[in-house]
Amino acid sequence: MSEKCLHICHLYYDILNLYGDNGNIRTLEKRLNWRGIDSKVSRVTFGPVPEDNDYDIIFIGGGQDFEQEILVKDLFEYKADWLKGEIEKGTVILAICGGYQMLGKYYEAADGTRVDFLGGINVYTTAGDKRMIGNFVYEYTGVSGEQFSIVGFENHNGQTWLGDGVEPMGTIIKGFGNNGDDKTEGARYKNVFATYSHGPLLPKNARLADELLSIAYERKYNEKLTELEHDMEDAAHDDIIKQLG
């Protein structure tokens, strides 16, 4: 391996890991290693942020409602200032489902009670009355303006609404997206990529994985990431799109 190495933080790895979230970490690591670049994964749980925290990419997955309460407590006690700082300074952050909601301002239950979240990106979530579930597809516009589709599986009740300064990740082609209403999906702010595409988003959306890696790599080494084939990844991506019609 080269001396070059990206440092990946899997935040709340033991709580926000409901649906194969490890697949994302695995994809980031492998796609670095296959390029001859080293990777280091730090798995961070409750308590103070580790001192060795020069993270290039932070990943936050989805979790169960049961664990939300203890999570929010830890977030405000130990992580809030640090995580907001990372967002503002442009660290690459991928947040999925519960992790996505948590970066926003708050969650409002059906009876109007609010749970405050990080407030790191200008979005908020309200309780929906139907489960938005199934395979879905959205059109993503990349940093370089290039467009491609992202496929995944969504499973959420919460409806997320975007405020000023935040762009959607993409436009829904099939499925529900942020709220089942305005055709938007996910949120983009600085180098934050947030989406409802839960679990293993990156393996079969290798172009998105490479986009995250490119940004992080360029930020750190000021040079371009080399190309890497993604035929099998595209085969899985294209096959499900074909099945969805």
Which active-site residues does the annotation give?
Answer: 97, 198
The residue type at 33: N
Q: Which of 66, 130, 164, 224 binds another protein (CB under 8 A)?
A: 66
Cα 127 to Cα 111, 158, 197: the distances in Å are 9, 5, 18
Question: CB of 19: closest distance to another protein in angstroms?
Answer: 4
Spatial separation of the C-alpha atoms in residues 48 and 70, rounded to whole Å:
15
Q: Which of 153, 161, 193, 217 binds another protein (CB under 8 A)?
A: 153
Spatial separation of the C-alpha atoms in residues 245 and 241, rounded to whole Å:
6
> Which residue, 11 or 166, has its beta carbon nearer to another protein?
11
Strand 147-156: give its sheet, edge to edge.
147-156, 132-141, 170-174, 184-185
Contacting another protein within 1-20 (CB under 8 A): 13-15, 18-20
Contacting another protein within 174-213 (CB under 8 A): 198-200, 203-204
CB 191 within 8 A of CB 151: no
H/E element holding 70? helix 68-74
Question: CB of 203: closest distance to another protein in angstroms?
Answer: 5
> Which residue, 210 or 233, has its beta carbon nearer to another protein?
233
Site residues (vs another protein, CB under 8 A) = 13-15, 18-23, 26-27, 30, 46, 64-67, 69-70, 133-135, 153, 155, 198-200, 203-204, 232-233, 235-236, 239-240, 243
